Amino acid sequence: MVADMKLSHKALPLLLYQFTSKFRDELRPKFGLMRSREFLMKDLYAFTASEVDANDVYNLVGKCYDDVFNTLGIKYRKVLGDSSSLGGHLSHEYHYVSNIGEDDLLVCPSCNTGVNATAHPHEESCSQCGGGLEHTRGIEVSRDPGS
């Protein structure tokens, strides 16, 4: 699709996305329907002219996620995730808060800032307001991989 296009910096940012079926090859899938072997995955590829533009796209995509979850009335937590395996400098995860969730989250009750406890095990206080963090569990429903 893009191979035949003549791209210039004027065409940027260029956002390409796809939806594909993905498969997990787990010997014993956990949580039945919650974590099935086959699931629909959305991927977004963003091509930008600068790091500033990349950050703008990242923030725009994050706002889109926020808008979708809020419109649907889904109570969620946006937490700082692990970007090391995906590359980039920043990664956020969106979690549905639930006691049966697989992920441990640390969330500030004052400003709602949070982190994935596995990705940030040494986090002791909120990076935004300095308040204490409370432990909760969540089911990851989406991820914004690194910018």
Q: What CATH number should be reported for the domain holding residue 54?
A: 3.30.930.10
In a domain, 37, yes or no: yes
The answer to whether position 3 is within a domain reads no
* Residue 90 is assigned to a structural domain of this protein: yes
**CA dist list (Å): 93 to 13, 113, 118:** 23, 12, 12
- Structural domain of 118: 9-143
Q: Is residue 35 part of a domain?
A: yes
99-131: pLDDT as tens digits = 988 899 999 999 888 999 998 888 889 989 999
Residues with Cβ within 8 Å of 68's Cβ and at least 6 positions away in sequence, in order, are: none
Q: Is 93 helix (H, G, I), strand (E, B) or coil?
A: strand
Residue 77, classed as helix, strand or coil, is: strand
Backbone angles phi, psi at 19, to 5 degrees: -115, 125
Is residue 98, in this structure, part of any structural domain at all?
yes
Residue 1 lies in a domain: no
Q: Calculate mean pLDDT across residues 11-32.
A: 78
Q: Read off the pTM.
A: 0.78
For the chain, how many residues are written? 147
**pLDDT of res. 28:** 59
Alpha helix (H) ranges present in the chain?
A: 51-72
Indicate the number of domains in the chain.
1
Residue 135 counted as domain residue? yes
> Does residue 4 fall inside a structural domain?
no
**What's the mean pLDDT in 8-15?**
90
**Signed CA dihedral, 59, 64, 65, 71: sign only:** positive
